[in-house]
A and B are shown apart, each in its own frame.
Chain A
Amino acid sequence: MALIEIQHLDKIYNSSAVAVHALNDVTLNVEKKEFTAIVGPSGSGKTTMLNILGGLDKPSSGFIKIEGTDIFKLKSSELIDYRLNHIGFVFQAYNLIPVFTARENVEFIMLLQGVSKKEREKQAMALLDSVGLADRSNSRPNQLSGGQQQRVAVARSLASHPDFVLADEPTANLDSESAGDLLDLMETLNESHNMTFIFSTHDDRVIKRARRIITLQDGAVKSDVMN
């Protein structure tokens, strides 16, 4: 069974004067341990796609099954719990709680899961170590560079032991060196932790690093190739 099964996904926004067909009959599967990029020009539907995949937005039609669970059949509070326990998120910006240290940010998601304090501290340190920031565990986000902040965000996304990690343009605000480092980190975690990553980007250097490239155009899948 595929990790994620997407069938005839449509998303139409009616909020503006003209209806926008942001996703148009998307059907595809994602397997475990994939390292997949969703690419396409701005406005092609990448964010919409990832938001729906992450249960942050509802499709107009079609369904998504994650390990057999149709996530849009869940009640809204169950869906929040599902996100907490099964999906890791890395956003383009504003990922971290500014008043918390790096370690507290990673711990927070485990707190929401009800993990004991001792266990939280131990795991948070181990995760920060694996993203190369053990020595910055007591730094606040504003004391870290953009690249470092995104690495903390990656550490946090893994802290809840999710089935997969969704990252919407994680490198968009980074210089190319930091972007490269972040991709290195994600690749390593993909290999060592068998973690599935689905990330969107429109940066050619990032696209090259993906093993599977799904290209969207006007909300439809234009191509789906292995790299």
Chain B
Amino acid sequence: MLLALAWKNIWRNKKRSLIVVIAITFGLWGGLLSGAIMMGMGESMIKSAISRDLAHIQIHKMHYNRDKLITNYIPNSKEILSQLNQSGEVKAVSPRTLIYGMAASPESSFGIRIVGIDPQKAKQVTDIHEKIVKGGYFESDRKNQCVIGQKLAKRLNLKIRSKVILSFEGLEEDIKYLACRVTGIYDTESSQFDETNLYVRQSDLLRILESEAIYHEIAILLNSTRLIDPFRDQLKADYNSLQIQSWNELAPDLEFLSVTMQNFTYLFVAIILFALLFGITNTMLMSVVDRIRELGVLIAIGMKKFKVFIMILLETIFLSLTGGILGIIIGGLSIVYFNFAGINLTAFAASLEGFGASAILYPFLPTVMYIIMTIMIIVAANLAAILPAWKAMHLQPSEAIRTY
């Protein structure tokens, strides 16, 4: 009956309660949606980074990251590759020959990373072949083709069929040259990546190096993201002389970013709730003042003070939760809708690419965040209720009822 009373009481001044409910609804809706967009952006950055280059797990020679020398290749790559190819958990493997060198066009030159790949294998691990904007992705069998990023093409003023001279240190500290022809230009979400990564066929590189197969990096894509950590640990145990890292260890900033986005969302909603708190408190104070006589009568006829306190508390919680749940439902629905349809931010594509996120975002919020938000609303409602409930509870019945 006390619950019913509290619920009925909040609808006595419909206009006033509706204003608060609408304010909470829209405040939360905005907070949730923008939070979900930030989360979606973080997720997009991670997904793009994984499918652009990182894959799930990478293998290097120990300390390769410190000295990216051509001689620091993985010593026992054959053995590893055959083990990986037999594993049921592995979806695809792409061994890469990495060489740091210079790319020169008639106009200019630029420091780059030459990535020697087997295009068929690389296609299964990364999606560069889907990002081709001009030409193709190693479509013919002609020797000495290269696929470069849009940004590098601009920098060196290269077009399809342009010639590029690659120069780099060979295995015997000698300088090697590879003249190749641009057959494809790609454009990923990250302009920084596009500027420095140049793809050639492994076979072309090895011929110049006069070497048998050497690999500096093995990128592994697993059948499911859940397998990443256990599989990495297994590899670590099997090859303790190699460096085995999962994507989040390779790019800790990306993982940090996704956690940051989550914290931002909480902070955002907390700030919105904090602002709403004053509105709720004010509304409830007005409602208590409007009912001084009635509350006085209730205390006079024998309603205990703590029950009066609880009643006002319940009213505040009901009021806040009505708006809160509406906000979460509308927010959740629009997140689901946009997650399905995508938010097209092509207008801001240039600045998003600076971050490495794609122009179409798919906002989302983990379920646990909805639960935590609901708890945050209830906490805010309790805070908002304290002052009005305190005031109601300390009414002096003889004064409150007096009709002079």
A77 / chain B contacts, CB cutoff of 8 Å: 304-305
What number of residue pairs across chains A and B have CB atoms under 8 A from each other?
Answer: 68
Instruction: Report A190-212 CB contacts with B as 1/0, cut-off 8 Å.
Output: 00000000000000000000000
A84 touches B305 (CB 8 A): no
In this assembly, does A89 line the interface, its C-beta being within 8 Å of a C-beta of chain B?
yes
Pick from A51, A85, A94: contact of B302, CB under 8 Å: A85
In this assembly, does B162 line the interface, its C-beta being within 8 Å of a C-beta of chain A?
no
Complex CA distance for A54 and B303, rounded to whole angstroms: 14
Complex CA distance for A109 and B298, rounded to whole angstroms: 9
In this assembly, does A95 line the interface, its C-beta being within 8 Å of a C-beta of chain B?
yes
B301 touches A109 (CB 8 A): yes
Pick from B12, B304, B307, B403: contact of A92, CB under 8 Å: B403
In this assembly, does B346 line the interface, its C-beta being within 8 Å of a C-beta of chain A?
no
A111 / chain B contacts, CB cutoff of 8 Å: 1-2
Pick from A47, A51, A89: contact of B301, CB under 8 Å: A89
Instruction: Report B267-309 CB contacts with A as 1/0, cut-off 8 Å.
Output: 0000000000000000000000000011011111111110100
Q: Which of B307-334 contact A (CB under 8 A)?
A: 307
Nearest Cβ in chain A — how far from B146, in angstroms? Answer: 78
B403 / chain A contacts, CB cutoff of 8 Å: 92-93
Binds B, one of A25-33, A66-74, A99-107, A180-188: A99-107
Nearest Cβ in chain A — how far from B267, in angstroms? Answer: 39
Nearest Cβ in chain B — how far from A194, in angstroms? Answer: 21
Complex CA distance for A60 and B282, rounded to whole angstroms: 36
Pick from B12, B293, B397: contact of A99, CB under 8 Å: B12
B8 touches A99 (CB 8 A): yes
Q: Which of B354-404 contact A (CB under 8 A)?
A: 397-398, 401-403
* Cβ-closest chain A residue relative to B12: A99
Complex CA distance for A83 and B297, rounded to whole angstroms: 12
A57 / chain B contacts, CB cutoff of 8 Å: 398
* Cβ-closest chain B residue relative to A84: B302
A83 touches B302 (CB 8 A): yes
B398 touches A84 (CB 8 A): no
A97 touches B302 (CB 8 A): no
B12 touches A98 (CB 8 A): yes
* Cβ-closest chain A residue relative to B399: A57
In this assembly, does A224 line the interface, its C-beta being within 8 Å of a C-beta of chain B?
no
B297 touches A91 (CB 8 A): yes
In this assembly, does A12 line the interface, its C-beta being within 8 Å of a C-beta of chain B?
no
Nearest Cβ in chain A — how far from B318, in angstroms? Answer: 13
B302 touches A112 (CB 8 A): yes
Instruction: Report B228-271 CB contacts with A as 1/0, cut-off 8 Å.
Output: 00000000000000000000000000000000000000000000
B299 touches A80 (CB 8 A): yes
In this assembly, does A150 line the interface, its C-beta being within 8 Å of a C-beta of chain B?
no
In this assembly, does B9 line the interface, its C-beta being within 8 Å of a C-beta of chain A?
yes
Q: Which of B1-43 contact A (CB under 8 A)?
A: 1-2, 5, 8-9, 12
Instruction: Report B205-247 CB contacts with A as 1/0, cut-off 8 Å.
Output: 0000000000000000000000000000000000000000000
A109 touches B297 (CB 8 A): no
B302 touches A109 (CB 8 A): yes
Best-surrounded residue of B293, B296, B303, B305 (most CB of chain A within 10 A): B303
Nearest Cβ in chain A — how far from B401, in angstroms? Answer: 6
A97 touches B301 (CB 8 A): no
Complex CA distance for A105 and B12, rounded to whole angstroms: 16
In this assembly, does A129 line the interface, its C-beta being within 8 Å of a C-beta of chain B?
no
A113 / chain B contacts, CB cutoff of 8 Å: 302
In this assembly, does A144 line the interface, its C-beta being within 8 Å of a C-beta of chain B?
no
Complex CA distance for A100 and B304, rounded to whole angstroms: 19
Nearest Cβ in chain B — how far from A116, in angstroms? Answer: 12
In this assembly, does A44 line the interface, its C-beta being within 8 Å of a C-beta of chain B?
no
A104 touches B12 (CB 8 A): no
B300 touches A54 (CB 8 A): yes
Nearest Cβ in chain A — how far from B292, in angstroms? Answer: 9
B12 / chain A contacts, CB cutoff of 8 Å: 98-99
Best-surrounded residue of A77, A91, A98 (most CB of chain B within 10 A): A91
Q: A57-B398, A83-B300, A108-B1 are in contact. List 16 more A-B contacts (CB 8 A).
A: A47-B402, A56-B300, A56-B401, A77-B304, A80-B299, A80-B305, A83-B301, A84-B302, A84-B303, A94-B296, A99-B8, A100-B5, A108-B5, A109-B301, A109-B302, A112-B303
- A–B Cβ pairs within 8 angstroms, 17 of them: A56-B401, A57-B398, A77-B304, A80-B303, A81-B302, A89-B297, A89-B300, A94-B294, A97-B294, A97-B298, A99-B5, A99-B12, A108-B1, A109-B301, A112-B302, A112-B304, A157-B301
The 9 closest A-B pairs by CB, nearest first: A84-B302, A99-B8, A57-B398, A94-B293, A56-B398, A51-B398, A83-B302, A56-B397, A111-B1
Q: Which A residues lie at the B interface, using CB under 8 A?
A: 47, 51, 54, 56-57, 77, 80-81, 83-85, 89, 91-95, 97-100, 104, 107-109, 111-113, 156-157, 160
